[in-house]
Structure 1
Amino acid sequence: MRTVRDAAFDVMRQHGMTTVFANPGSTEVPLLTGFPDDLRFVLALHEGSVVGAATGWAIVREQPALVLLHTTAGLGNAVGALATARVNRAPLVVLVGQQDRRHLVQEPFLAGRLEGLAGDYPVRVETPARAQDVPGAIGRAAHAARVRRGPALVIVPMNDWAEPADDVPDPSPAALRTATGADPAAVREVAALLAGATAPALVVGAGADHADTWSALTDLAERLGCPVRQEPFGARAGFPQDHPLFAGHLPADRARLRTVLAPHDVVLAVGAPLLRQYPYQDGPLARPGTRMALVTDDPAEAERAPAELAVVAPLPAFCAALAEQTPKRAGQPYGGPETAGRPTPPPSDADGPLRGADVLAALADALPADAVLVEETPSSRPELHALVPARRPLGFLSAAMGGLGFAIPAAAGVRMGAPERPVVAVVGDGSSLYQIQALWTAAHYGVGILVIVLANSGYAVMDRLAELHGGAAPWPPFEEVSVSGLATALGCPARRVTDRGTLRRELGALLPSLGELTEPLVLEVAVAPDPVFQP
């Protein structure tokens, strides 16, 4: 007898979801026993690691990843990671196990009130009315995840998998096509805005992190001869950061933002919110006289943009058409003075303690150009942006939501999804502890990632914020914690580095062959907190 489970597996295959990231429980056992040989099961030891790894896999593969969670406890543990996946615009299909449908009305042990538990972060939530509707729900979730780029949930009672599939309806479209072209009228309107500018600037964001968009934006920037800046808190790089026209990252406070944008009469943001900030400050984003426009493929991003003009369009096609219609500005030097001399952290004392900037400078010296750098080091992020440019699409990845626990599982998922790309995660020791369990998954499945832990034995960014607020922090340092020891206990090779000579030797040996790693490695580097640096 063909079962709902059999039909569901066929739908998964149809959508390329043949890798399942999971931390299962009893309500998922009926789906998983006798698992088909052509599907790959990846176990993680916490739901945050499950979703984090799937997020990295989905981003690099540009297709939905399949996640399996265990009723209320599993979905509840995963909510923060699902929020990160939504803001990182990662397509996920999330199957959530539920108690047996036949006695749900009595709310038996492990029955979950699952709808709404993840809030508004899922792009779709389905609770099939009958078992035979499960395969179609999975197909619809795959389409929703792909088109709306976020997690789509399907809640499945445990007995549904064994039900007969004889009357399963046509589950969902076998293929769903969306427009890939650019509206000529919208292109002309944005091109006219740029043509009328005397001092334009481009702001790029995570949505522009695509090879074709990079190429088109490079052409556009060179025609305009204008600086290109990365959005504040960008989760991915939207432009080659080693290009002469790249002028660095925008600040995340309005006062400095107004100063940076002051020379420009037109600012065009592409694939970025306009413009996301962190501390609240009074006043506008830009000074009077600066016209602002946005091009994005995210309707919600466009709807909330404080812009004169917002355009929703597929970015590769739109940017290519825009560059083609934008004439080269006369008299504009290629990489002129306004893009020169981007600030870099001051050199550290060679006789002083190692700092995060020292580690990042050594990393930049030998990091392969095609490497994916996954970042989660809040106190050293400005130094990382200044010292380690993203030179290829997907060269940089971080958690757009800002929550911790993303980098280690995401790095593993990226390498699993794109084994041809070298992958390094740079994390703080405080950050690493939120999903340290992901090292077991990387070690067990032979995922070759390098995890560099900047270990200052505390929450350095929180210490800085406390100082800015003029008070003493009540939290203690955690000098007793050994990240390398925890890694070893999880089956992951690890070494601790405490001096410059050892750091240079380790990175000099590891980085040239980073892509050949067949198991994870943790380098725990003891560092003193970096002095405050605002590029």
Structure 2
Amino acid sequence: MTTMDAARVAGRGPEQTVREAAFEVLRRFGLTTIFANPGSTEIAFLTGLPDDFDFTLALHEGSVVGMATGWATATGRPAFVSLHTTAGLANAAGALATARTNRAPLVVVVGQQDRRHLAHDPFLTGRLEGLVGDYPVWTGQPARAQDVPGALARAHHEAVSGAGPALVVVPMDDWLQPAEALRSAAAIDVRRGRPTLGPELDELAVALDEAHAPALVVGSAADDESSWSAVVTLAERLGAPVWQEPFGARAGFPQHHSAFAGHLPPTRSGARSALADNDVVLVLGAPAFRQYPWEPGDLVPAEATVFQVTPYADETHHSIADRAFVADVSLTCRGLVAKVRARAGKAAAVRPPAAALPPPRAGEPLRPGHVFDLLARWLPEDAILVEESPSSRPELHRRVPARAPLGFVSAAAGGLGFGLPAAIGLKLGAPHRPVVAVLGDGSSLYGIQGLWSAAHYHVGALFLVLSNGGYAIMDRLAEQSGQGKQPWPPFSEIRLGTVAAGLGCPADRITSYDELTDALSEVLPTLADRAGPRLLDIEVAADLTYG
């Protein structure tokens, strides 16, 4: 075998293109599932894909990134995304912001016009630098076509270590250029670190031992089996109540456990009231603290000492904690269990149980609480529940607890359009788990194109749309502002079931309690094995329970 033949066998011969070299890098890192909405600047990359690559189409870039975010969340691995130039990247901006806040690792290739005439500003030239702000954890614009494979390896590293979307901008002619040796790109390997505490663990243990009434606040970075187990053991040893962070992307504790106190209110006065009896607050895997409406006063009682443990260093920069530690939640909790004294008794119940609503009387409308009570009755324990129904979110929290890791997923960034495509990606990434999305009708319209992907790829998710004919949360906020009537009209004419059917997704319009009972009792028990999507368009009253 000649030197030239050996190089060709090794995949580094002069005949190899940048595209072929890029596929080698993508294979190395398991990035063989492509989520995309194609554009002309990606034709050279996407056409004639190798057989070991899977292409998943969505009809809007928000759905593309939402599905990829769900897939990455379910699998724990980076997802690969292909976006068109300016229009594609701009359409995906909100979804990329959610991916960043939800800590979803994404490797995103953004197409660009032909490098050979970029200087002349041809049609579809993307002015891409800064287009989506600081939401990417890293952005690479390779200086040469031959630098693209290495940039993809770098993007994988940045997506994993930065826990967010990493972008690589690739001019369309780069893919077919001759490649160079891939030694630097191929040698890169990435493993997410598990930072641990040293002497600081003793400091934290002493503070908890000396506390009169400690409390825990958990968040998304505690949402895995190891962390759930460790936090449960620590809470039981301390006899401490456990609060869920407000606006969390995921649940950090089993919400049917007797120590679960509820969701920490998203207001300063609410948080102070909830933590009024606690002199030490340990925040685990969550910001300290994310709020929504501004209020005067402290975030926590003045007498309380706040400690924070998070694997994300950037979370500490916005923290009001007295001491913040960048460390793994599970390992920290297990270390603390070995050091703190066991306390007698259990944490007093803080969260009042939500009594089931009686069925509506003749002529009365369904309310979100009716939907959630029936959902809780039949929802499998291992189900993944995706939430994007802002006006009824607190009601959902009160009535449908997360009972397994990855049991609750939402958009921590707050932008709409995440829930529907994320549910599809979650089911694709965790096909053995039942997936239910609880959506508002207004929220659904931001990502409704995703239903085509759910139908086309036979994704067995259930979509529950609470149709109240308007932006109920916005109506509530307008009412609270005291500035008069809102200018936006309702949209009660819309029938989401009709739209869903037009996109190939089976759907039913639900207007009565009996219809809802029949539908949920039929679908939920066998949801894990469902071979296609279903949408229930449920007519509900505009309950304004947000708070």
TM-score (norm 1): 0.97
**For each residue in 1:107-134, what CA deviation from the matched residue of structure 2 results, as whole angstroms up to 9, or x when unmatched?**
1111111111111000010001111110
Deviates most, 105-114 or 350-359: 350-359
For the pair 1:273 / 2:278, whether they are aligned, the reply is no
Q: Distance in 2 between matches of 1:63 and 1:39?
A: 16
Superposition pairs of residues 194-209 of structure 1, within 5 angstroms: 194-209=208-223
* SS of residue matched to 1:216: helix
Measured after TM superposition, the shift of residue 206 of structure 1 is 1.0
* SS of residue matched to 2:226: helix
Measured after TM superposition, the shift of residue 307 of structure 1 is 1.1
For the pair 1:316 / 2:330, whether they are aligned, the reply is yes
2:350 maps to amino acid: T
Match of 1:458 in 2: 470
1:497 maps to amino acid: I
Match of 2:28 in 1: 14
Contact 2:391 2:544 in 1 (8 A): no
**What is the aligned counterpart of 1:251 among 265, 268, 291?**
265
Where does the alignment leave 5 or more consecutive residues of structure 2 unmatched?
1-14
**For each residue in 1:335-374, what CA deviation from the matched residue of structure 2 results, as whole angstroms up to 9, or x when unmatched?**
x434363456865644421001100110000100000000
For the pair 1:162 / 2:176, whether they are aligned, the reply is yes
**What is the aligned counterpart of 1:403 among 408, 415, 430?**
415
1:377 maps to amino acid: S
Match of 1:505 in 2: 518
Superposition pairs of residues 130-529 of structure 1, within 5 angstroms: 130-171=144-185, 173-329=187-343, 331=344, 333-334=345-346, 336-339=347-350, 341-342=352-353, 349-351=360-362, 352-470=364-482, 471-529=484-542
Measured after TM superposition, the shift of residue 289 of structure 1 is 0.9
2:369 maps to amino acid: A
Contact 2:83 2:110 in 1 (8 A): yes
Contact 1:226 1:245 in 2 (8 A): yes
* SS of residue matched to 1:375: strand
Contact 2:473 2:546 in 1 (8 A): no
* SS of residue matched to 1:381: helix
Match of 1:64 in 2: 78
1:312 maps to amino acid: V
**For each residue in 1:379-424, what CA deviation from the matched residue of structure 2 results, as whole angstroms up to 9, or x when unmatched?**
1101100000000000000001000000110000000011011100
Cα 1:24–1:78, aligned 2, differ >3 Å: closer, same or farther?
same
For the pair 1:95 / 2:106, whether they are aligned, the reply is no
Q: Distance in 1 between matches of 2:355 and 2:307?
A: 30
* SS of residue matched to 2:71: helix
Measured after TM superposition, the shift of residue 188 of structure 1 is 1.4
Measured after TM superposition, the shift of residue 258 of structure 1 is 0.9
Q: Distance in 1 between matches of 2:504 and 2:191?
A: 44
Contact 2:160 2:190 in 1 (8 A): no
Cα 1:350–1:3, aligned 2, differ >3 Å: closer, same or farther?
same
Q: Distance in 2 between matches of 1:263 and 1:214?
A: 24
Contact 1:345 1:386 in 2 (8 A): no
1:479 maps to amino acid: S
Deviates most, 103-112 or 48-57: 103-112
Q: Distance in 2 between matches of 1:240 and 1:178?
A: 25
**For each residue in 1:240-288, what CA deviation from the matched residue of structure 2 results, as whole angstroms up to 9, or x when unmatched?**
0000000101111111211111100001110111111111001001122
Deviating 4+ runs (over 6 angstroms): none
Match of 1:27 in 2: 41
* SS of residue matched to 1:215: helix
Q: Distance in 1 between matches of 2:297 and 2:207?
A: 24
* SS of residue matched to 2:466: strand
Match of 2:69 in 1: 55
* SS of residue matched to 1:201: strand
**For each residue in 1:482-504, what CA deviation from the matched residue of structure 2 results, as whole angstroms up to 9, or x when unmatched?**
10000001111101110001100
Contact 2:472 2:544 in 1 (8 A): no
Contact 2:195 2:311 in 1 (8 A): no
Measured after TM superposition, the shift of residue 168 of structure 1 is 4.4
Contact 1:428 1:454 in 2 (8 A): yes
* SS of residue matched to 2:409: strand
Q: Distance in 1 between matches of 2:338 and 2:447?
A: 46
Q: Distance in 2 between matches of 1:375 and 1:222?
A: 29
Where does the alignment leave 5 or more consecutive residues of structure 1 unmatched?
none
Measured after TM superposition, the shift of residue 178 of structure 1 is 4.7
Measured after TM superposition, the shift of residue 215 of structure 1 is 0.4
Contact 1:132 1:169 in 2 (8 A): no
For the pair 1:530 / 2:540, whether they are aligned, the reply is no
Match of 2:7 in 1: none
Cα 1:392–1:178, aligned 2, differ >3 Å: closer, same or farther?
closer
**For each residue in 1:302-329, what CA deviation from the matched residue of structure 2 results, as whole angstroms up to 9, or x when unmatched?**
1221111100012222222122222211
Contact 1:497 1:503 in 2 (8 A): yes
Q: Distance in 2 between matches of 1:507 and 1:266?
A: 43
Q: Distance in 1 between matches of 2:123 and 2:183?
A: 32
Q: Distance in 2 between matches of 1:180 and 1:206?
A: 16
2:491 maps to amino acid: F
Contact 2:150 2:184 in 1 (8 A): yes
Cα 1:300–1:172, aligned 2, differ >3 Å: closer, same or farther?
farther
Q: Distance in 1 between matches of 2:22 and 2:351?
A: 56
2:421 maps to amino acid: P
1:492 maps to amino acid: C
**For each residue in 1:170-198, what CA deviation from the matched residue of structure 2 results, as whole angstroms up to 9, or x when unmatched?**
21543234542522212212111111101
Contact 1:133 1:169 in 2 (8 A): no
Q: Distance in 2 between matches of 1:66 and 1:198?
A: 49
* SS of residue matched to 1:337: coil
2:468 maps to amino acid: N
* SS of residue matched to 2:129: coil
Q: Distance in 1 between matches of 2:354 and 2:536?
A: 28
Cα 1:281–1:172, aligned 2, differ >3 Å: closer, same or farther?
farther
2:458 maps to amino acid: G
TM-score (norm 2): 0.95
Cα 1:124–1:533, aligned 2, differ >3 Å: closer, same or farther?
closer
Cα 1:469–1:169, aligned 2, differ >3 Å: closer, same or farther?
same
